[in-house]
Amino acid sequence: MEKYEQLLNMLMDFNESIRFAAVSDASGNLLWNSQRDGVSNIVPIEKTKATMSRSRGEWDDYASSADIIGDGLYSITSYAKIKRITIPLSDGNMLFVSVNNKPMKNAKNTSYGHLVEMGEILSIVEFVESKNF
């Protein structure tokens, strides 16, 4: 099993709120993707690809500040319906994850959504990157 397939399978198995996961190369081209069965796209795949390409460019811009603030670990952008997570991978590629953003039951008149389990997600990324495929 290829490394990216393993990574995306483990992420999908880990958390039911993950709707879509993909890996893109340094140019923002889609290398591998997985969508949860029974979940329809909120964002069309072409728009998702464009977003991944823009995100890649933003990460490259952030890298110019790494000597001051350190390397970027991940970024979360939250919308009313979904959260988008981007994580730079050690091989120069980028992981892109889309999760549900259901409102918390106890939140009154707000739609903050649930927290994303970034520790577990990053642990899966680190585990897969440490393996030789």
Mean pLDDT across the chain, nearest whole number? Answer: 86
Residues 6+ apart with CB under 8 A from 101: 78, 79, 80, 81, 82, 83, 111, 113, 114
- CATH number of the domain residue 121 falls in: 3.30.450.30
- Say if residue 1's pLDDT is above 70: no
- Say if residue 107's pLDDT is above 60: no
The model carries a pTM of 0.84
Question: In the chain, pLDDT over 90 holds for what percent of residues?
Answer: 43
CA distances from 78 to 2, 6, 10, 54, 85 (A): 30, 26, 23, 16, 9
Contact 95, 7 (CB under 8 A): yes
Choose the weakest-confidence range: 30-39, 48-57, 62-71, 96-105. 96-105
How much is the pLDDT for 95? 96
Question: In the chain, pLDDT over 70 holds for what percent of residues?
Answer: 89
Contact 93, 26 (CB under 8 A): yes
Range of the domain at 20: 1-131
End-to-end CA distance of the chain: 7
- Say if residue 133's pLDDT is above 80: no
Number of domains in the chain: 1
Residue 47: count of CB within 10 angstroms of its CB: 11
Q: What is the mean pLDDT of residues 14-24?
A: 92
